[in-house]
A and B are shown apart, each in its own frame.
Chain A
Amino acid sequence: MSAFRLPGRGRIDVARPVAFRFDGKAMTGAAGDTLASALLANGVHLVGRSFKYHRPRGLLGAGVEEPNALMGVDRGPGRHTANVRATTIELHDDLTVETQNRWPSLGFDLGAATNLLSPLFPAGFYNKTFMWPRSAWETLYEPAIRRMAGLGKAPHAIDPDRYTARHDFVDLLIVGAGRAGIEAALAASASGERVMLIDEQPELGGKLLANPARWDWLAGALTRLDDAGVVCLSRTTAIGLYHDGFVGAVERLTDHLPPATATGPRERLHRIRAARIVLATGAIERPLVFADNDRPGVMLASAARTYLHRYGVAVGKRVALMVTHDSGYQVAFDLAEAGIGIAAIVDSRPDLDPSLKARASDLGLELIPHAVVIGTHGAKAVTGITLAPLGSRQVRKIACDALLMAGGWTPTVHLWSHGKGKLGWDEALGAFVPEGEMDRVTCTGACAGAIDPGHGVHAEALWSPRDPASFKAFVDLQNDVTARDIRLAVREGFRSIEHIKRYTTNGMATDQGKTSNLNGLQVAAGALGNTAPQVGLTTFRPPYTPTTFGALAGSAKDALFQPTRKTVIDSWAHAQGAVFENVAQWRRARYFPRASEDMDAAVARECRAVRTGVGMFDASTLGKIEVVGPDAAEFLNRMYTNPWKALAPGRCRYGLLLGEDGFIRDDGVAARLADDRFHVTTTTGGAARVLGMMEDYLQTEWPDLDVWLTSTTEQYAVIALQGPRARDVIAPHVEGVDLSPEALPHMAYAEGRICGVPMRLFRVSFTGELGFEVNVPAGHGLAVWEALWAEGQRHGITAYGTETMHVLRAEKGYIIVGQDSDGTLTPDDAGIGWAVGKKKLDFVGRRSLARPDMLLPDRKQLVGLLTDDPHYVLEEGAQIVDVPNAPVPVPMIGHVTSSYHSPTLGRSIALAVVAGGRARIGETLFVPMADKTHRVTVSEPLFYDREGARLDG
């Protein structure tokens, strides 16, 4: 057993040794240790280097408040975690940790040179310099600053661990399983309510764990909670309190286990919705501010007590205490009773509690009232302190190997603050406590300021006979913010605490100011000549402690990041060797290459097949909305630009949807199935948006309309058959529908059966050829597709993908919303003004269409473009000018929206929007690319079958 382990003390299993590696050195601790307690047991005080000055640092605390002891924990490839507090690392076999932000070693760190230059680097120094010469900021200064900054190692490999999440719904959530939290849980446990008690530590009990006198009670209470069915979660941190009783909490599942035995997810996010929340988050002890208070061995008194009682570890052999608060005495007494030497108790107060005085003298402890520590000695560990009576220069030195600070207590009000709870100043505590009420949330115990921790004074910084501007007295240890930095900020006009925080970075380190906020505030108040409550506190932000990205991202990764929507025919396309593309959330077959074909060759073949024979296309991704009800036609009439009331059942119409601004939002064909029923289709990407928009209008603007909307996108598989022989393919399989052009002309709709299953049949075309869109229940989609594919073999049927669909529709000048239009085109701009019901009194966007700018002749209008060089395919997105080689900024009059090689025409074609384009048909314009300017001729946006005769085949 090491020299600092105390036999017979602690809650841990000293008999079970645990081997670990610290900066490459093999060491042994005990089962139940934290890394921090194990290091102390090994006599290690130097555990880190500070952010800015690379000062040697030791442990300050024993919990999540720890600012100094940040470690890189290595659990194998991809499993390196930076900046983990030694006080929260549970010791286990094979634990491998290394210290950070030092080079070449923790003991000898060249970065410490900055400490010598520190007079040049006060708070805000970077605002004042590095400005000359101008270019050096980027080439010299910033790169140097970046290299110096940062704490832990940057990540470089992918984390193989899994993360999971769940939702919890409880009547009562209690955060913090110290005495107050456990009592709250006990009180509620009889009620039959669903109660959940969570705590960030591996063991429930909070501060009771450092109080052996209460251990029996604790054990009994936990058994009772268990019996009552209270859900108790340890290693679970409430990271934030959100609206309406919502708390996010993260449970750590495997980090405490040896890597070899850890299975299952590493962390679990709990999304807890609670009817009531009790915050019992306790309080954190406050350090004291004096010169060189950052030397390893200077720590919180309460931490020493925790190390003693919980881990059976002595923080030193000869321990001094600097107290401004009674709570430090109990620590001194406990240490003394454990046989640890007490060098002295220095108390800044002149008048001490007689009972404490008596107890100290009983134990033979030297008590030095009305005095303060004004400095510490030692290189990498404290070896002694200098103290002086208040107001005197008669300094005295005392040797010690640890110095404990007892500066009072700060209630942990973070979660209360997240919920925008008000805080009030408690003069006795010298701290802010929750004030007023919050829906669903109450505070109890130390967090509410309801536990009397004893008396104390709450000095800003300890008095010193020296000029306070001449030494470093740290407030924020990790960020190296000193009291004089804060005073400098105030001197420079930073008067608000938020300004001071930002200027000095006080409280912005990875501990988020758990030990520095209040001290910073008090130093600032002193400098401002204000009281602490007048200065106020900075806002607490979630999370309470740093939270793994993976835990928040959860299982939403890789394929589950966003589920890929696939049609029922996708597997067939895959088997055929289709090349896919992502369209919105869907994956769609883009083309079906044969043998060595590239995309152009495959598309050319597919296009020819449709124009001369028959092609087959999976159109299932089109959005579908069933609009039903007595007012269905009226509703569509108001939503879409087109007139719907006169549309007869059994007929289809191309529908155009605008936004309030009059610009095209979506389009699609809709069929009237019956007087009160429409089958509306939308673009693939627009389906959810359109349904949302319809619901919005229906529920908020026209609640009087009797209409129901149902998304049926995934209920139907849609098989498009396009080409002169399309009818031949389906005819043998269709029952109950007369397919003749007379009975079922272009834009007609019929219901019947195909291959024995119910069918909704649309005679529509997005290719300009004779076309049918066969809608069958999705479950039958693949079978029908395969049957029609087999049938089609006799007709040379060819499967085609989205790329061919694009080319074919471009040859016909059919727009794709979102490609040829971009949210700035009106129906007239897009050349589809005919789709706007001229006699209609109203529809969404109608008023905007009458705005003056919408009527200007120079609006961008959809046109066709033909390049001089028929083989050159313009780049989509290329800009169009009317004067070639103009100087920058070049006036642009439009851009290319769609551009392909047209196999049908044997040349390139493009669609474009051009200012006043329709009046420019026949004119020559220019497309200036980086290397060359291309000449183009403006044409109608229609390149094939101008009369539309093929549609009627």
Chain B
Amino acid sequence: MTRFSAATLLAKAIGHHKGWPAQWPDAAPKPSYDAVIVGAGGHGLGAAYYLAKKHGITNVAVIDKGWLGGGNTGRNTTIIRSNYLYDESAFLYDHAVKLWDGLSQELNYNVMYSKRGVLMLAHNVHDVQSFKRHIHSNRLNGVDNEWLTAEEAQAYCPPLSIDPNARHPVLGAALQRRGGTARHDSVAWGYARGAAALGVDIIQNCAVTGIRRGADGAVEGVETERGFIATRKIGVSAAGNSSVLMDMAGLRFPLESFPLQALVSEPVKPFFPCVVMSNTVHAYMSQSDKGELVIGAGTDAYVSYSQRGALHIVEHTLAAICEIFPVVRRMRMLRNWGGIVDVTPDRSPILGKTPVKGLYVNCGWGTGGFKATPGAADLLAWTIAKDEPHPINAPFNLDRFRSGRLIDEAAAAAVAH
């Protein structure tokens, strides 16, 4: 692996950049691997990277039906935060945020993690109660999250309207300063490059079509468009298609898949310094380093596997954005797209073992799993390597839907981005 640095960049510039090697080879499948990860999103690629890096398991393949990073990893609005309510969630997401810090150095790949702060707006008494509850809980869990008055919120984000006569006036906000954004593609590419350098095969354009199980029920390998690949350990990290894959192993998963849309504006000079979310008005926004406003909202209201949504969702989203930030009304939408998100009944992920021996799963991240990428990847790798969950992901088991030990963030926070 050629190390990336300003010095190598300079050196290669002299040779017109002809000397750069491939960041990862496009691998062809081998007959068998020690572990196979299905889904080359950030989570899957990261899991392969940590399997190799931390657990010494390098005979690993990551298989994707499309090109790596082309799923939700490459479609999301990249909000990163960890100010979740319940202990289980706070520890899970904060594990990820700790890994975000330093990920560029770890991977020698600038993933542009930008701690510009995530501001969540409270618009009514109920919001205030709910946010205060989060703030107190976060403080006692050692997760930063602070209360701002409406004026303080506007000082932090000047384009914010705090007009008390607004339809949904801003009564205050919760701010997580460590929250922010990262560049989604770079995360996938950085992990891919890192994993490949450690010996992982990244196999693209190779849909998994079946999961083969032996007489004892344990997995024996995956059927793919390019033939059978033998393995005793399969990690499924397929986001919106997770339930389809689990079905291949004969498991019915408590997941529903919805379209989730996002959009960007044309680029303008920087004026929007942070990420702002409003669950009540229902939209969120940040400005990318390129100058585009990055905007999203809730899912379309029907289940679907088609990666496109309906126009009225965009209309609502932009009405909401213009309501909170009236100065952007004359800006223009440049691109609008959708992804398919997999949602569990309690809006928390499922990350751990399954009833099938050798089959591990990481799914149900719904609308909010980008922020968890390094954490989820690390924990999935641990679970696969040790055949048991790490204490952080142990509560996020499948069994909770039977036992009732749910981790219902949505119940307290309405939407979880």
- A interface vs B, CB < 8 Å? 51, 78-83, 119-120, 122, 125-132, 134, 137-138, 142, 145-147, 149-159, 161, 240, 242-243, 246, 248, 269, 271, 418, 420, 467, 469-470, 484, 488, 491-496, 498-499, 502-503, 508, 510, 512, 539, 541-543, 546-550, 552-554, 556-559, 561-562, 564, 581-583, 660-663, 818-819, 822-824, 848, 851-854, 875-879, 881, 888-890, 892, 895, 928-930
Contact = CB atoms under 8 A, between A and B. Distances in A.
Given A138-B115, A158-B326, A556-B315, A499 B67 contact: yes
9 contacts: A149-B290, A155-B330, A161-B329, A161-B330, A498-B67, A549-B265, A660-B345, A878-B133, A889-B91
Smallest CB-CB A-B distances: 4 pairs: A823-B411, A150-B291, A493-B22, A877-B133
Interface string B30-74: 000000000000000000000000000000000000111110001
Contact of B266 (A82, A158, A243, A881): A82
B269 interface: yes
Contact of B114 (A138, A151, A550, A818): A138
Contacts of B320: 561
Contacts of A491: 18, 20-22
A561 B323 contact: yes
A877 B269 contact: no
A819 B129 contact: yes
Nearest to B185: A502
A491 B167 CA distance: 54
Interface string B252-280: 00000000000001111111100000000
In the complex, which of the residues A126, A130, A248, A541 has the most CB atoms of chain B within 10 Å of its own CB atom? Answer: A541
A488 B20 contact: yes
B15 to A, nearest CB: 8
Contacts of B141: 888-890
Given A134-B102, A853-B404, A888-B142, A484 B17 contact: yes
B5 A550 contact: no
Contact of B269 (A153, A582, A660): A153
Interface in B390-417: 400, 402-406, 408, 410-412
Contact of A892 (B74, B87, B323): B87
Contacts of B271: 154-156
B154 interface: no
A550 B329 contact: yes
B266 A510 contact: yes
Contacts of A895: 133, 136-137
A122 B17 contact: yes
B373 interface: no
B129 A582 contact: no
Given A420-B306, A502-B185, A552-B315, 20 more contacts: A83-B267, A126-B110, A127-B110, A131-B104, A149-B291, A150-B268, A151-B291, A155-B331, A240-B336, A493-B26, A496-B70, A547-B333, A549-B322, A556-B316, A557-B319, A583-B124, A819-B129, A876-B133, A877-B135, A879-B140
A549 B331 contact: yes
A212 B289 CA distance: 47
Band of interface residues on B: 35 or more
Given A548-B330, A661-B345, A137 B110 contact: yes
A157 B327 contact: yes
Contact of B405 (A508, A822, A853, A877): A853
B4 to A, nearest CB: 4
Nearest to A685: B126
A83 B268 contact: yes
Nearest to B141: A889
Given A549-B321, A877-B131, A502 B74 contact: yes
Contacts of B267: 51, 83, 149-152, 510
B266 A151 contact: yes
Interface in B72-111: 74, 87, 91, 102, 104-105, 108-110
A290 to B, nearest CB: 17
Interface string B299-338: 0000000101011001110111111001111111111110
Contacts of A484: 16-17
B226 interface: no
Contacts of A79: 330
A120 B136 contact: no
Contacts of B74: 498, 502
Contacts of B310: 242-243, 246
A947 B296 CA distance: 52
A127 B410 CA distance: 35
Contacts of B334: 510, 512, 543, 546
Contact of B67 (A130, A496, A510): A496
A64 to B, nearest CB: 13
B270 A159 contact: no
A877 B132 contact: yes
A664 to B, nearest CB: 10
Interface stretch (B6-14, B355-363, B374-382): B6-14
A652 to B, nearest CB: 27
Contact of A852 (B69, B135, B168, B404): B404
A824 B411 contact: yes
A495 B266 contact: no
Nearest to A659: B345
